[in-house]
Amino acid sequence: MKDKNVIGIDVAKAKLDVFDSKTGRHTVVANTPEGVDALVRGVAPAKTLVVLEATGGYEGLLVEALERRGVDCAVVNPLHVRHFARGCGMVEKNDKLDARMIARFGEVVRPEPREAPSASEAKLKALVHRRDQALAHLGAERNRLQQTRDAETAEMIRQGVAFYRAQIREVDKRIAQVLDQCPQLAAKSRVLQSCPGVGVATTATLLAELPELGRLNRGQVAKLVGVAPIARDSGQKQGQRRTHAGRSMVRKVLYMAALVATRYNARMQAFYQRLLARGKAKKSALVAVMRKLVVTLNLMVRNNETWSEPSLAIDNN
């Protein structure tokens, strides 16, 4: 991968700013099927690494086209690129400069190319995202229902609540179907759901948003999710360790799974109570349970091993 030419692309809703590090050429193409197809046709699959930032969805069309052509593509965290740019003394910011800096980031850091998901994995991810959206809308409608004083408006809101509840049930059914119909997903789902406190929603989110599960070590998976305490030391100062960043959707479901596990999973409950007995704050103790839970699940998937108290007795204290 070190010999590959790096192309940096700054993604916007309507256009793509493209910088080729080999030729030094900057071009702008439309972020449309026609524009993306024309761009991808000019990329040599075996000789190129395309680097772009995650934008919350605007990069989807481009990523899919690159994967179909077999081009290595790395979708990176925009914050990492921004910090890199500042470290290089680049304080200015516009689309053209961003594309150049993304390419430079790719040349120096050489991020790992994205592994193209299977059709079932892509479908699962879309359903998991829709479930998360529907839950957010449901919560908003419930809050509005508490605040309204008009009877007619309240009835409209109740209809909205009923709609989102029904849609969540339908999405859950389709998620279960996807997990059952794909042998690879079904095997991982069986392993994950054998752990007390981990249900279908948590399993689906982990498989969709954390495809690296089972391929990382304990420190890597904890950092990737955002539940690893990060050192803040300098000289004689020893700062307080705090968790930082990570994948928000995974953290949300892990938080709920950890809450359930502290009540119904004997091992996690004992770990949680030991931390409280040592004087840990409840929130800090719960984050520690989240970390222990994801580390354990990572090990289970790696070993294709269902939950078993003796064989999974890992000292994560």
d(CA 47, CA 72): 9
Element (H, E) at 35: helix 33-41
Task: Look at residues 153, 181, 209 and tell me which one is the last residue of a structural domain.
Answer: 181
Chain centroid to Cα 107, Å, comes to 24
Verify that 268 and 222 share a domain, yes or no: yes
Phi and psi for 265 in degrees, rounded to 5?
A: -110, 110
Verify that 82 and 123 share a domain, yes or no: no
Is 61 among the domain residues? Answer: yes
Is 265 among the domain residues? Answer: yes
Is 190 among the domain residues? Answer: no
Is 313 among the domain residues? Answer: no
Verify that 222 and 260 share a domain, yes or no: yes
Indicate the number of domains in the chain: 3
Is 223 among the domain residues? Answer: yes
Verify that 37 and 100 share a domain, yes or no: yes
Select from 269, 267, 262 the least CA-distant residue to 300: 267
**What pLDDT is stored for residue 315 in this prediction?**
43
Task: Look at residues 74, 89, 109 and tell me which one is the last residue of a structural domain.
Answer: 109
Verify that 224 and 285 share a domain, yes or no: yes
Note if the pTM is more than 0.75.
yes
Verify that 126 and 102 share a domain, yes or no: no
List the domain range (segments joined by +) for residue 214. 200-303
Verify that 78 and 45 share a domain, yes or no: yes
Is 195 among the domain residues? Answer: no
Task: Look at residues 66, 88, 109 and tell me which one is the last residue of a structural domain.
Answer: 109
Give the strand pairing for 237-238 and 233-234.
antiparallel
The order of strands in the sheet holding 5-11 is: 25-30, 15-20, 5-11, 48-53, 72-76
- Report yes or no: 145 and 154 within 8 Å, Cβ to Cβ: yes
How many CA within 13 A on the CB side of residue 4? 27
Binned average pLDDT, 10 residues per bin, the chain of 317 residues: 85 94 93 93 88 89 91 91 91 92 93 88 94 96 94 96 97 96 95 93 94 89 82 62 74 93 92 94 92 94 83 47
For residue 139, the tally of other CB atoms under 10 A from its CB is 12
Verify that 211 and 248 share a domain, yes or no: yes
Verify that 151 and 232 share a domain, yes or no: no
Is 310 among the domain residues? Answer: no
**What pLDDT is stored for residue 245 in this prediction?**
66
- Report yes or no: 8 and 17 within 8 Å, Cβ to Cβ: no
Is 59 among the domain residues? Answer: yes
Verify that 79 and 140 share a domain, yes or no: no
Verify that 124 and 103 share a domain, yes or no: no
